[in-house]
Structure 1
Amino acid sequence: MFTKEDIHAATSRIKSGSDFPQFIQELKEMGVIRNDVYVSNGLSAYFASEEEVLQISPEEYPDLVISVEPSVEKLKHALKIHQTGETGFISFCEHAADAGVEKWITDLKDMTCTYYDTAGNELVKEKISAT
């Protein structure tokens, strides 16, 4: 199974959302099948199986309040600027919180990333491009 050090090495190479497909490819090669990220506190859960989970909390992460008014439009805008390299991870999370995103789940089998509001409703589901 992958380690915290493996994940940190892969995340250290991410500078913006444009690096996300390469990051996902690295996770996949490590054996990660799913990654859940919680916007309010930055907690990331990396799954090797439903029973094997590695949780990592960032050392420096702002306390974010999730908007109770989800906005697909705000989220799509945040994704667009993040994927073109205009924002880093923390800025993207701040924008996602403002758009009402509680968490996102990256499914490395289906190669999708799905964003959910606090009620568990799907806001946006994107296909991850291969690198």
Structure 2
Amino acid sequence: MFDLKEIKEAHAKVKTGADFPKYIQELIKLGVKKYNTYVSNGRTVYFGNDKYEIKSERKYATLTIANISDKERFKHFLKSHQRGQTDYPTFCNNAAATGVEKWTVDMSLMTCTYYDKLNSTMLKENIPTP
């Protein structure tokens, strides 16, 4: 099964959102089936086969998640990030400011879904193959 060291090594190769599809392919090879990332502190919970689960540590100081979500503004920030125009900390700050509480990446569906504080879907995207 995978461990946090392997995931960190794969994540270290990600410089911008443009690198995300390659990162997902590496996680699939490690055996990650799904993960949830929490915007407030960057903690991620990774899931594998047979209820295997590991949690990362928080990655940064606590961000305040906006109570009211702004899907359109978030889409704009996401597109900029996917084009490589922002780094990960900037993307997380922008996500928090627009009400994104977490995102879930599902490797079997090849989707990334962003949720607000009410656990309502703000945006669901298909993950492109590199």
TM range (shorter): over 0.9
| Residue in structure 2 matched with residue 96 of structure 1 by the alignment | 95
| Residue in structure 2 matched with residue 113 of structure 1 by the alignment | 112
Q: 1 CA distance for matches of 2:40 and 2:32?
A: 23
| Residue in structure 1 matched with residue 51 of structure 2 by the alignment | 51
TM-superposed CA distance for 1:84, in Å, is: 0.4
- What is the count of residue pairs matched by the alignment? 130
Q: Which amino acid aligns with 1:37?
A: T
Q: 2 CA distance for matches of 1:125 and 1:50?
A: 26
| Residue in structure 2 matched with residue 15 of structure 1 by the alignment | 15
Q: Which amino acid aligns with 2:90?
A: S
Asked if 1:31 corresponds to 2:27, the answer is no
Q: 1 CA distance for matches of 2:49 and 2:98?
A: 30
What SS does the aligned partner of 1:94 have? helix
TM-superposed CA distance for 1:89, in Å, is: 1.0
Is the 2:31–2:49 contact (alpha carbons within 8 Å) kept by the matching residues of 1? no
| Residue in structure 2 matched with residue 74 of structure 1 by the alignment | 73
Q: 2 CA distance for matches of 1:85 and 1:71?
A: 22
Report Cα offsets for 1:36-87 as digits up to 9, x if no partner.
00000110111103621110024x5131000001010111011111000011
Report Cα offsets for 1:80-114 as digits up to 9, x if no partner.
11000011111100000011000000000000000
Percentage identity across paired residues of the two chains: 42
What SS does the aligned partner of 2:85 have? coil
- TM-score normalized by structure 1? 0.96
